Structure 1
C-alpha cells in the first residue's frame, strides 16, 4: 500500500507547495519594483547560507548545532525521499544515506524540543510549539518507510495483518510531516522561513552584506537615499505595498526567534517597540488581517489584537486602528542591535526609517521636540538653533588653523555640532592637544562646517539631510586633504557611508574618514605619542553603536586604552552586542516614555563591572551616560584620557643651539590653554 501511496503523498505535497509558492510570490510582488540579479542571486544562496547566515547563527552554539542537524538532515532527506520513494529508485546506498539524514533530523528535532521545554520568553509560541513534533513526524515516518529499501526489514512486511495497521499509522505520520514541511513551507506556518529565507538571501536588499569568497569584512549600513527630484517617487513608506518587493520578502523570512527582541534597548526599557512584533505586523499588512494570531511578546503596554491592516492601507493611522502606532516607530534608537543579531539578516532599521520618512515629509508628524530641531537645522544649520557664526567661539584661544586659509592639510578635523556643547568642547580641546603633540598637519572648516545631517536623516527628514550633505560636499570639494577625522561616530558614519551617494563628478564625496580613536591608535603605533603611567582606577569601555555595529571598529579604542596601561574590564554586553546609550536615531528628541531610561540600564551594566570610570568615544554617549543620577562611574572620552597621559617633549631654550639639546617633559595640561 505504501509503495503506491507514498509517491502520491509526496507529489501532492510538492504540488500544493508549488501553488503556495506562487501565492506567496504574489504577496511579495505587491511591493514596489526592485532590480535584482536573479540568476546570480540564486547561485549565491549556498555560500550566503553556509557562510554569512551561519556566521550569525553560530553565536549560539546550541542553536547552531541544532540547525545544522535539523536543516541539513531535512534538505537531504527531502531530496532523497523524492528520488527513492517518489521516483522509485530502489538504491540501497541512497536508502542508507536517507536513513542517516532522517536520524540527523530526528536528533535535531530533539534539540529543538529541549530548547522549548520550557521556551525562553523571546520565542514565539502557538504554532511554533508543534514544530519539534512535526520534525519528528517527518523524520520518523521517512526512516521507517525506508527500512525495507535499505534491506533492514523484509519487503512487504507492511502488507498484511498488524502490518496494515502499522502502515495506516505510518501514513498518517508521513502526512503530518509532509503537511508541515512542504505545504506549510509556502502556505504559512513555522517552516515558512525556510522558503522565504532562501529567496531573501538570493534577493537581499543589501547584497553588499554578503561575503564573496575573497575574505575581509563585508558591511553595508548606510541608509538609501530618496529620489527627491522624482515627482513620481513616494516620500517614504505609507502602506505595506510601498516597501520594495524584496523588503516584503525579507519580512516574510522572519523565523520569530526573538533575538532582535532580546537585544533591543527600547523593548528592554519598556518603550512600545518590539522589533520582532514590528516585522510580523508588516507580514500581517502584506497579507491583510490582524495581529490576533501573533504568539510572541507584544509591544510593551500594548496588548495583541489591537492592530490590523491591508497591503494598500496606511501603516500608521493618526486616528488609531492601523498596523503600527507612531510611537512604536519613534521609540527606535537606530542602534542596529536587531539587525546585527538577526540570523535571517532582516533590515529592521531601514524599514523603520522608511516609515518615519513618510510621517515627517508628508505629515510633519515628528513628536515632541522633533519639529523644533528640524526647523533649527533648516534655519541655522545646527539642531540647537545656535548662531552659525559662533561655531568657533569656544576655541578663540586655540588659534585653530582654517582650511580657508591653508587650502590643504593632511587631516581635516570635523568638529561636529558638539562645538555648541560645553561638555563636548572639553573632548575637542583634548583631541586638539593630541594632534599638536604628534605634530599633525590639520585644519578645520570653522564657520563653513554645517551639521552632518545625521539627526535629520534618522528623524525621516531626507530633504534637510540631503540639503546639508550637498552643501558640505560642495564646501569640501574646495580643499585638499588626506583624511577626515572626527570625534563624533554619527558624523563619521554619514560622511563615510552616506555622503558618497550624493556626490557628483564635480564634487565627489568618496572620503577617507576616521574616528578619532582609530587615528589616535595610528599615532600611537607610529610612536608619535608618549604617555606617563596610568594611575587611575579601573576602566570599562562603552562601544558606540555608530562606531561598532555600524562600522565594525571595536579594537582601536581598546588598543589605545591598553597603550595607556589600562586593563579594560569588559561589560557583559560589549562589542557587537553592546547596549545602546539611548542617544541615537533622534531618540532623546522624540523622547518616547518607557518604564526606565536606556542610559540607566547601561550604567547598571557598568556597575556590574565595578569600574570607576567609563571610557567613551561619542559625544551623545557622553551626554546620555553623564545624565544618569549619581552615584555612578565617571565618564571620559578616549581623547581626554590620552591628553591627560601625554608627555610632550619640548626643547630647552638654553640648549637649542646644541645638536644634542636636552628636553623638558611637560603634560598636555601644562601646554594647552
Structure 2
C-alpha cells in the first residue's frame, strides 16, 4: 500500500519539477538569442559534469567527496525509486541498490550538515541552512523504506512508514519543488543546463577560452543596460550559482575592501533576471556598501537601484573568480558587458579612465605620448624595423610600455638575449599601435576594434613566423582576440620563447648569487593562457630555487594592474599590490621575479622597505654565460 503512495508522490514531484524547470527556462529566455545545438548540448552534460566540473570541485578534496556522495546518491536514488515505485520493478537487487544509494546520500548529507553547522564566511546562509536537513530527511527516510522493502514489510509498522513518507515528501519538496520556487536546489537543474549550453563551449574537454567576445557596434544598445541585454545562456549561468563563495575568497578587490563581491554580483543579476528584491540574499555584502534590499526587474536598468557602478569598476579582470567557480560561471564577461554600456552608452567611465580613452583616441596610447616616439627606446640598439626589411623570423611586439623607462630595461634585455641566440628579429617601430587591451577592458569596444583592425592591417603587410612580446596583456589580445578581426598569428610571451631558446642550447646561464626569490604569476599569462612553467624553468636555469607563495600558479593573487584598475582607481581599505607584496614577505623572499610590465609597476609602487622587483629577462641577461655575452648592455 505505502509503496503505491511513494510512487504517486514521486510522480507529482517530477511534474512539479518539470513545471519549475519550464519556469526557469522562460526566465533565461528573456535574454538575447545565442544558438547552441540542442542535442549536442544535452548529450555533453554527463561528461562535462563528471570531468570538467569535478576537476574544479576536486581542488577541495573533502568537499569533492561530499559532493560525489550527495549528488551522486541523489541522482541514483531517484532513478531507482522510479524503477521500483513507478515502473514496479521491485526485487532483492533493486531494493539493495536503493538502500546503498540512500546510504551514500545520507553520508554526504551528514558532511553537508557538518559544513553548515559552523559555515565559513564565504558560504551563503539563509535558505541554504535548511538544505542538509532536507537532504537528510530524504536520504534517511528512503533508506528505511528500502530496508522495509528488503524485509518484506509492505504495510507495517504504520507509524514508521508514515514518518518515512513524510521525510520523503519533505525532501522531494526541497529537491524538486525548489526548482519552481527558486530554492537552493534550483542550481542542480540550472547548473546541468549551464554545462551543456555554456556560452564558451571551448572551455570544456581541457580547452581554454578567455578572449572577450566582440559586439556589433551597430546595435541599438551597446553593452548591457538591463538583464535582458545579456545572452540567454549568460542568464542561465547566473542562475546556476550555488553561492559557495569560492569566487569571493579569491577576489582581490573584495579582499582589498573595494565594493565588489563576485558572488553578490551574480545573485543581484539573478534578481535582475527574475524580478523582486535582494532581501533573501544571505551572504557577504559588497564591502563598504550598505546592505539594504534593492529592487530588480528584466526591463529595469541595472544601475538604477540594483547595482552601483563602482562595483563593476572595481574588477581587475584577473579571472580568479572564473578559475575557482565550480559551476564555470563567466563573471568577467558579465562585468565587461556592463562596462561597455557605461562607457559607450552613458559616457561614464570611472576615474581617469576617460582621460586614458581620450588619449587612445587621439595618440593611440593611453598616456598621451607622441606616437612618433614609440620606437625611441630602440634607437641606439639599431634594431631592424619591418618596414625596412620586409620580413623576419620573429616580430618583437614592444607594447605600450615602450614609453616607460623601467619597462624599457626589459625590452632592451630581450633584444640582447635574442641577439645572443642569433635570432632573426625586427620591430614595427612607430607603425605599432596600442594593442587595445585597456580600451576593451574599460568597455570602449569601439576604440579597441579600431586599434585591432589597424594593427591587423599593418601586421598582414609583412612576413614573419612568430610574434614575441614581454607584455602578457598584448600577448593575450593578439593571440586570442585579434583572430575575430582577421589576425591569426603564432604568438609567444618572452618567457616562453626564451625558455625554448634555452632548451635548444642557444642560451646558457651562469648560476647567480644565492638569493631567496619568489615568482609572481601575471594573471594574463597564467590564468588567461596557462603560462606557468616557462618562467619557473628560466629561473631554475639560473640556479634559482623558487620559493612559492601560497597564492601562486592558477591561484596567484592579482597585482591590481589589470582591467584598467589603476586608472579607474576605486578606493578600498587596502591596496591590492600591498597585499601581494605581503605574500612575498610571507615566504621571506628578497627578490620577486616578474614577467609583466604592469605587475612590475604595481609591485614597485609598494613603499620601501620591500623586496626587490625584477623582470626575468633582466635577470637572464645578468646571468648570461660568458661565451654568449654581448658587448651591448641594458641601458
Q: TM-score range by the shorter chain?
A: over 0.9
**Residue number in structure 1 paired with 2:308:** 325
Residues 476 and 524, structure 2, Cα contact 8 Å, conserved in 1: yes
In the alignment, the residues of structure 2 paired with residue 349 and residue 471 of structure 1 have an alpha-carbon distance, to the nearest angstrom, of 26
Residues 396 and 427, structure 2, Cα contact 8 Å, conserved in 1: yes
- The unaligned stretches of length 5 or more in structure 1 are 158-162, 212-216, 504-508, 650-664
**Residue number in structure 2 paired with 1:657:** none
In the alignment, the residues of structure 2 paired with residue 669 and residue 259 of structure 1 have an alpha-carbon distance, to the nearest angstrom, of 51
What's the offset of the Cα at 1:574? 0.2
User: Are 1:140 and 2:140 matched, yes or no?
Assistant: yes
User: Are 1:528 and 2:506 matched, yes or no?
Assistant: yes
What is the aligned counterpart of 1:224 among 197, 210, 213? 213
1:510-565 superposed Cα distances (whole Å, 9 cap, x missing partner): 10000000000001001011222211411100000000000001000000100111
**Residue number in structure 2 paired with 1:350:** 333
In the TM superposition, what are the counterparts of 1:420-431 in structure 2 within 5 Å? 420-431=403-414
**Residue number in structure 2 paired with 1:647:** 625
What's the offset of the Cα at 1:289? 1.1
**Residue number in structure 2 paired with 1:300:** 287
**SS state of the match for residue 396, structure 1?**
helix
Aligned-residue CA RMSD in angstroms?
1.2
> Would the alpha carbon gap of residues 471 and 196 (structure 1) be closer, same or farther in structure 2, given more than 3 Å must change?
same
**SS state of the match for residue 7, structure 2?**
helix
**SS state of the match for residue 380, structure 2?**
coil
**Residue number in structure 2 paired with 1:661:** none
User: Are 1:514 and 2:508 matched, yes or no?
Assistant: no
What is the aligned counterpart of 1:638 among 616, 619, 624? 616
In the TM superposition, what are the counterparts of 1:373-392 in structure 2 within 5 Å? 373-392=356-375
In the alignment, the residues of structure 2 paired with residue 188 and residue 145 of structure 1 have an alpha-carbon distance, to the nearest angstrom, of 29
Residues 127 and 189, structure 1, Cα contact 8 Å, conserved in 2: yes
What's the offset of the Cα at 1:648? 4.5
**Residue number in structure 2 paired with 1:154:** 153
**Residue number in structure 2 paired with 1:92:** 92
**Residue number in structure 2 paired with 1:104:** 104
Residues 2 and 155, structure 2, Cα contact 8 Å, conserved in 1: no
**Residue number in structure 2 paired with 1:470:** 453
In the TM superposition, what are the counterparts of 1:106-505 in structure 2 within 5 Å? 106-150=106-150, 152-157=151-156, 163-211=157-205, 217-228=206-217, 231-317=218-304, 322-503=305-486
What's the offset of the Cα at 1:668? 4.7
Residues 539 and 568, structure 1, Cα contact 8 Å, conserved in 2: yes
Residues 21 and 187, structure 1, Cα contact 8 Å, conserved in 2: no
What is the aligned counterpart of 2:554 among 546, 562, 576? 576
1:157-211 superposed Cα distances (whole Å, 9 cap, x missing partner): 2xxxxx3322322222111111011111343111111000000011000000001
In the alignment, the residues of structure 2 paired with residue 199 and residue 631 of structure 1 have an alpha-carbon distance, to the nearest angstrom, of 52
What's the offset of the Cα at 1:233? 4.9
> Would the alpha carbon gap of residues 668 and 267 (structure 1) be closer, same or farther in structure 2, given more than 3 Å must change?
farther
Residues 365 and 400, structure 2, Cα contact 8 Å, conserved in 1: yes
- The unaligned stretches of length 5 or more in structure 2 are none
In the alignment, the residues of structure 2 paired with residue 191 and residue 390 of structure 1 have an alpha-carbon distance, to the nearest angstrom, of 59
What's the offset of the Cα at 1:12? 1.1
1:457-515 superposed Cα distances (whole Å, 9 cap, x missing partner): 00000000000000000000110001000000000000000000111xxxxx1100000
What's the offset of the Cα at 1:39? 0.3
**Residue number in structure 2 paired with 1:27:** 27
In the alignment, the residues of structure 2 paired with residue 543 and residue 61 of structure 1 have an alpha-carbon distance, to the nearest angstrom, of 24
What's the offset of the Cα at 1:91? 2.0
Could you tell me the TM-score, scaled by structure 2's length?
0.98
> Would the alpha carbon gap of residues 46 and 311 (structure 1) be closer, same or farther in structure 2, given more than 3 Å must change?
same
Could you tell me the TM-score, scaled by structure 1's length?
0.93
What's the offset of the Cα at 1:98? 0.6
1:572-595 superposed Cα distances (whole Å, 9 cap, x missing partner): 000000000000000000000000
Residues 416 and 632, structure 2, Cα contact 8 Å, conserved in 1: no
Residues 452 and 495, structure 1, Cα contact 8 Å, conserved in 2: yes
What's the offset of the Cα at 1:670? 5.8
In the alignment, the residues of structure 1 paired with residue 9 and residue 227 of structure 2 have an alpha-carbon distance, to the nearest angstrom, of 36
In the alignment, the residues of structure 2 paired with residue 594 and residue 45 of structure 1 have an alpha-carbon distance, to the nearest angstrom, of 40
In the alignment, the residues of structure 2 paired with residue 34 and residue 446 of structure 1 have an alpha-carbon distance, to the nearest angstrom, of 41
User: Are 1:46 and 2:46 matched, yes or no?
Assistant: yes
Which of the pair has more CA radius of gyration?
1
Residues 185 and 195, structure 1, Cα contact 8 Å, conserved in 2: yes
What's the offset of the Cα at 1:18? 1.2
